Amino acid sequence: EERKQHRPVLDRLVLCRSVVAVSRPHQTRPQLGNAAFARSMPSRAPTLFMTQRIHHRNEAEPLQKAMAATGWKEAATPEKATLLWDVETLGDTSSLSKTPAPGQIVNRTPGMLHCCRKAVFARMLWRLRAILPPDSAFEDGKYLPKQWSLPNEQHAADLAAHAQQCSAAAKKEGKEAPVYIVKPDGGSQGDGISLTTDPCRTTSWNSAAERVVQEYVSAPLLVDGLKFDLRLYVLLCRSADGMERAFLCHEGLARFAV
């Protein structure tokens, strides 16, 4: 019942563009039955604690407006807050000094930052491709370019074989060798990205540094002649009875390369 009461604020908080997900950390859930766990939720007015980094990034104002509109209060300390709000995720570089108590909620899924790293994400997609049938969309090169996470030895060997095969085929057809794009694992906004026809060479970057190599898409989908990407936000919820739901925010971001 309390989750139903708190539902409106979650609907409003998802409109704040800093949110990615709401999740109850598995390691903090007490060993109680679903009914007992629901009763363990605090019955007082809901409160939200924001870390100092939220204030430093000027992200506190939209949260405060959402709280004012829904009756939530801002907590001065994290110990008894209903919802803990931070920039990063628990297990990454969270500024929360302690693990959330049973019944508390964090605004981001633990470990999500790590999963979103380019090299880690490339390895997860690699594993996904391994269990999918050969005729899946992951194999036709249209849905997702082929990519490799280096310096992983298995990926490096597969990349070398792929590059050699494609280069030989292009030469036989009188075409130029295919181009590959190399992205540093922790880069953003195009920083450190390079294009090459020889993705296995190590003279242009630190061979020990994690990076992702992808087939360069020479004819991408454009909007008004510009490359773009979409950033959409999803709210993931799990109720006390174990029901999982996902809500897609109607607002999102479209970023254009200009």
Q: What is the pLDDT of residues 137-152, one digit of tens each?
A: 666 666 677 888 888 8
Overall size of the chain counted in residues: 258
**Residue 104 backbone dihedrals phi, psi, to 5 degrees:** -85, 155
- Assess whether pLDDT exceeds 80 at residue 169: yes
- Assess whether pLDDT exceeds 60 at residue 2: no
Q: What is the pLDDT of residue 140?
A: 63
Distance CA 200, CA 114 (A): 25
pTM of the shown model = 0.56
Q: What is the pLDDT of residue 100?
A: 76
Give the DSSP letter string of 197-231: S-TT--SSS-TTS-EEEEE--SS---BTTB-EEEE
**63-74: buried (b, 16+ CB within 10 Å) or exposed (e) per residue?**
beebbeebebee
Q: What is the pLDDT of residue 37?
A: 42
**Residue 64 backbone dihedrals phi, psi, to 5 degrees:** -65, -35
How many other CB atoms sit within 10 Å of the CB of residue 137?
10
- Assess whether pLDDT exceeds 50 at residue 14: no
Provide the token pair at 68.
């004012």
Between 77 and 134, residue with greater pLDDT: 77
Please state, rounded to an integer, the average pLDDT across all residues of the chain.
Answer: 75
Q: What is the pLDDT of residue 168?
A: 92
Q: What is the pLDDT of residue 92?
A: 47
Q: What is the pLDDT of residue 208?
A: 74
Q: What is the pLDDT of residue 23?
A: 33
Between 138 and 224, residue with greater pLDDT: 224
What confidence tens digit (pLDDT) does each residue in 193-218 have?
888 888 887 555 666 778 899 888 88
Provide the token pair at 61.
């104002």
Distance between first and last Cα of the chain: 49
- Assess whether pLDDT exceeds 80 at residue 181: yes
**pLDDT band for position 94 (50/70/90)?**
low
Return the residue matching tokens 């598995």.
26
Q: What is the pLDDT of residue 3?
A: 41
Q: What is the pLDDT of residue 138?
A: 66
